[in-house]
Structure 1
Amino acid sequence: MQQTHETISSGNWPDRLIRIFGDVRPGEGRMVLMMFLNVYFLLMAYYILKTVREPLILATGGAELKSYAAAFQAIVLVAYVPFYGWLAGRLPRQKLLVYVVLGFAVCIVLFAGALSMKVPYIGFAFYVFLGIFSVSMIAQFWSYANELYNRDTGERLFPLIAVGSTAGGPVGAAVAGWLYGSGVSSVTMMHIAASLLLVHLALYALIMHSSSTRTAIEQESKPLTNSSGFALVFKSRYLILIAGLLVLLNVVNTTGEYILSRVVLDYAVELAAGKADFDTEAFIGKFYGQFFFWVNVATIVIQALLVSRLVKFFGIAGVLFALPIIALGTYALPLLGASVMVFIATKLAENSTDYSVMNTAKQMLWLQTTPDEKYKAKQAIDTFFVRAGDVIAAALVFVGTQFIGLDLLGFSAVNVAMILIWMVVAHRLLQQYKLQSQASNDH
């Protein structure tokens, strides 16, 4: 559905502000700004809750329970995806957004009440809930964005809207750290996050009021069909390729995080061997603090200044292949004898490219799908299939360490092989994207 806008002069301040970062045409700035703020507050709320999650599950169940909760998320998502599809098949799109956001906000308030009453295993339950909340709410936002913009407009503006999610995460984490340092309780922080979701919902209302034409209102007032999200994925070659791409991406990324952890730990042990008073825990904490800081800085810079230009000059191919190319270098260089510091630098580049360029590419792929696919199939892929990639990576690490005896170079070689498959899938996906684009233009 092509977005319509009021006729606004090219000199209005949202247009002028956002044009610094990308190709914004007259009248588009206000809507882009509202979409930016919408996903910004959503990610800010999520990172506050994510910060609350860690001490909550570690204090009430330990690291072992945390690993079980991560695996249990995938099981719960098998039930959640059909439930979301059932809801989407019975509610108009605008009501679906309202009910889902309010439902999650109420759940957060209920968790806060359960925490204050010291309900057993609340940390485990909240960990599982938050995993579903994050993937489902972000997927829903981008489903709506994909319906709001057509392919040509979305390819220009999605990189700019995505800056909101890139900025909201670190700001939310910083706010959460400041609140904890000021003595604010986890219960209060949950209430703050729920309030931010209401701001997120209010921005949805403003966007709907600003963008809906009579035709759009008629279309959005109709519920989706009764098709299952999983069924939609498996009957579409294009969607199967998207699912496969995200599974491979997560396998490579999660395995890469394991390699990085081992590299840092081995380096800390090596340093500790020469110093009797060496604090290994402090060294690892300092390393990851600095690493995450620079990843966030690089992510924001890339998203704000480079992604829209990458799309402008190279199209969707530019954002689809940027991450696998960088990831290939990240894991191939150690096999060629590169140093630990080179690996860390390239891993930083990989992570920041994933959170910026690849995050934008993943959303752009849905620009020319049907409304059912945008909401139902996207929920299935962005939740279940993404988590499935994490589970496969965990199994790979377990088998590699317990049965095969892979060292770090061995895991790097496995990742190189996975990336080559990933690039083949990306190439075929790009072909399908162009075919669907051509078919859309013919109609």
Structure 2
Amino acid sequence: MARAEWGSRLGFILAAAGSAVGLGAIWKFPYVAAQNGGGAFLLIFLVIVFTLGISLMIAEMSVGASTKKSPVGAYRKLGGKWWSSVGYIGVLCGFLILSFYSVVGGWTIAYIVKSIQGSILTTDPAVLSRTFDSFIADPVMPIWYHAAFMALTAGVILAGVQKGIERVSKHLMVMLFLLILILIARGLTLHGALDGVVTFLYPDFSKVTPTMIIEAMGLAFFSMSLGMGCMITYGSYASGETSIPNSARSVIGLTTLICFLSGLMVFPAIFVFNFNPLAGPGLTFITMPAVFSQMSGGQFFSILFFFLLFVAALTSSVSLMEVVVSFFIDEFQFPRMMTTVIMSILMFILGIGASLSLGVWKNYTLFGKNLFGLLDYVSSNLIMPFGGIMIAILVGWKAWPVISARLAYPDGTCPVWLPLFKFICRFVAPVLIFVILLQNL
């Protein structure tokens, strides 16, 4: 069976960028930047992204493009039988993340509905906090929204690579960008909005510490969907003529731009209304509705904001499910429809447990964490760093002859940056990601 391919380089870039731009890019990047010196953190983040981050992006895409296989087959082909276990771990990571990520994706749908109803348009964050807490603790409603989000994700996957993932990503990424620009434009018209922009961008170098640099490395590596096989899978659908380095640069640039624009979207509004920019994840579902309630046309912009979050969540969830589905298609020749339906049901069932662990099952813990927190911790803090280390070692050492040949120019000459890329993959990336892994532990 011929392997599916992207219909265009733009489709590949937008699909990969959609994978990287998840909910974290909208709420996590702005508040982490605020906690760590604003512009100073931004500068360090950019340096890391365009050195280490882009190296890992090229590494993952190259592995997929060179083998035309999903993570398990790619690792086996380039590294040997033992290396396939790394691919299995990556597939497991995608499965675990999507099981609880779909629950959060369901929350974005619920808040679109609540925005349309006007039930969250209040200026009191305490009321919004109680609304949010009671909603996620409800044993029924979040699961229905979780089911809806999982079904939408499965629907995109069922349509295939070109007609599903590529087509949807093209439209949704353009929509995401336009929604952010509209919300930025509205926020900047507010009196005092410039204070929020200054706080976001002003470099406070007194906050530059080793811990802050590690925080920037962690955010750079793992906000780009690296270490769990998404970019290997997407790279495997690239045609032989596709320039992996140019595509990786475009994906990194687009993802970083959206992170930056998210800060410009969030900070002016929350400063005008004197809310805490360090509110973290609660900024999304608790603080922002209070901000919108004080704006002219606030209900409209609240709907836009949560629809934007939904779009960001969907483009990421599609890439996670494709990692799992492509594994079964490649390894066992299972039909796409059967695989997608079965995996969606299994992830939905695990997600039910994750949702209930925030409410009626919250007293049931393992290693001091509820199921939701445990799934998040194991996948994001343990498996993804491990995957990042292993892809760097595979490319820098075991598979270097194959990868360097894929990255060479058509006439066989090597790009001037190739030795630096090799050095980063062999030595720099494994050591720095191991430092992050130790910090997570």
TM over 0.5: no
- Could you tell me the TM-score, scaled by structure 1's length? 0.32
Q: Which has the higher helix share?
A: 1
Higher Cα radius of gyration: 1
- Could you tell me the TM-score, scaled by structure 2's length? 0.32
